[in-house]
Amino acid sequence: MCANVLRYIYPGFHFSFPISFFFAMISTLSPSSQTSLVWFRRDLRCFDHAALHAALTQTESVFCAFIFDKTILDHLPPDDRRVSFIHQSVTELAAELEKLGASLIVRYGHSEQEIARLVAELHIDSVLVNHDYEPQALQRDEEIKRQLEPLGCDFVSCKDQVIFEKNEILSLAGTPFSVFTPYKNAWLKKFLAAGDDYYSKPYPIERHAGQLTAYTDRSIPTLSDMGFHEAEPSSLPLQGGMAAGAALLDNFLSRIGHYDETRNFPAIKGPSYLSVHLRFGTVSIRHLVREAINCTRTAASMQGAQVWLSELIWRDFYFMILHHHPRVVTHAFKPAYDAIPWESGSHAELQFDAWCQGRTGYPLVDAAMLQLNQTGYMHNRLRMVTACFLIKDLGIDWRWGERYFAKQLNDFDLSANNGGWQWAASSGCDAQPYFRIFNPITQSEKFDTEGKFIRRYLPQLGRLDNKQIHAPWKLSPSILKQAGITLGDNYPAPIIEHDVARNQTLTRYAIVKKPGEKNAP
């Protein structure tokens, strides 16, 4: 399949790397590196892979490994959908590497211990990985690097999951951006000035596959071996693996021209649905960016492709923010917002639980939360709606919601999840103003006009017409009875009144209000 994927993605492509670009991407390997180990993490593919390409072109013998890390898995429930997705992807990766003459060594344990064991067992001279940007992952990598030094083994990290990282996009003053639009403009300027295929050039694998080395034990721990079980098909609408990612991309490119119009409506097929594949690296960000750029040059797909490209650039932006401001993991990007007096105590906990379970009494919010709970996916527009409801209607700390999404989202990515929640809380970089408060009824009427999405997850409201379904508590008892709805029984009454909540939020946020600033009407 890897050969087929390569032909699908790069038909007739001639690979030629600028030397300066190659060394800017990859840390230098020791001249004595003869045997290397490529440790796959969130890059579960055998094409266009920076670390794998570096190992194949710089060392004589290349082993491949993946670790089901107990440090992470021990904190997850046995039905975590993401573990099923990863297991599917690892199984496919192992099969594809075998076709290339290699085998994937798969272990279940703590990464620090398992990598050290493999280095000693296989006499590894260098371990190669692709960069991870999350604080805990960086600490793990530093610890492994420290352990490998006495063994005479290099630890080499490559840029792979972003186009630009860390200090590669800076303002004219040489400082990191904190507002997206000027960052995007600088990103595009740098990318386009170098030529389309400079920063997005793929790393060829198949042509260098002769350096891959097989390993005798090709077993893969089963989900049950690790204390997990296969996710129900209804709860995992997306398949893991490279082939599934390629199929989704192919489908999306056939409708990308309308992405700018369709992406906000949860009842229709508007998004790419590639976020979980980006998260685990079964697709290549370089390939996606090339496709987006190419589509911007075709009149029929230009508008949609430009908007989608912006979304991919947002991803780089949030990785950059996390690198320069790791404190955002626990604190507001704008420090003043940490002084906001959030709701607390048993009442806040009850309201938070109602939000989590999709029982707020606001149909669009509830349907969105049920979608998340049942499938691990939530439409991007609904992520904003539900986040704003929790923060600015219920007055609950954004960190509570961020943690819940981290547990539930198939595509959970720390930088993007944190950035999205801080955007909704108005505490992040380039966030919405604190006085901009989504009205959940208006959002419902605008983006689910016919109530199709609501009916999918709240069938008990199905007999209401397209106007009634957005705010059932406003209906007369006779209409509710006729529709088979009993508020407080088969559907909850609203747990808060939006207009009252809005005024409370403006008061709550007054602590960060600038002198002379007026609230928007």
Three-state SS at 365: helix
Instruction: Specify the long-range contacts of residues 172-176, CB closer than 8 Å, at least 24 apart.
Output: 176/320, 176/321, 176/324
Q: Which of 251, 264, 373, 380 is catalytic?
A: 380
Q: Which of 112, 230, 342, 445 is catalytic?
A: 342
Alpha carbons 18 and 97: distance in angstroms, whole number: 27
In 48-186, which ranges are E strands? 61-69, 104-109, 126-130, 154-158
HSE, side-chain direction, 13 A CA sphere, residue 188: 15
Active site residue 187: no
Active site residue 380: yes
Active site residue 398: yes
**Alpha helix segments (H runs only) across 296-413:** 302-324, 345-357, 363-375, 380-388, 398-408
Q: Which of 39, 308, 355, 421 is catalytic?
A: 421
Active site residue 473: no
HSE, side-chain direction, 13 A CA sphere, residue 189: 11
Alpha carbons 265 and 170: distance in angstroms, whole number: 35
The tokens for 206 are: 């198949």
Q: Which of 311, 439, 473, 519 is catalytic?
A: 311
Question: Which residue, among 131, 147, 123, has the nearest Cα to 323 in the 3D structure?
Answer: 131
- Do the beta carbons of residue 340 and residue 512 sit within 8 Å? yes
Neighbouring C-beta atoms of residue 373, cutoff 10 Å: 16
Active site residue 421: yes
Question: Which residue, among 47, 36, 38, has the nearest Cα to 5 in the 3D structure?
Answer: 47
Question: Which residue, among 280, 283, 279, has the nearest Cα to 248 in the 3D structure?
Answer: 283
The sheet carrying 61-69 orders its strands as 104-109, 61-69, 35-40, 126-130, 154-158
- Do the beta carbons of residue 332 and residue 422 sit within 8 Å? yes
HSE, side-chain direction, 13 A CA sphere, residue 146: 7
Question: Which residue, among 155, 58, 53, 83, has the nearest Cα to 112 in the 3D structure?
Answer: 155
In 100-241, which ranges are E strands? 104-109, 126-130, 154-158
Q: Which of 39, 355, 398, 400 is catalytic?
A: 398
Active site residue 311: yes
Neighbouring C-beta atoms of residue 206, cutoff 10 Å: 16
Active site residues: 311, 314, 342, 380, 398, 421
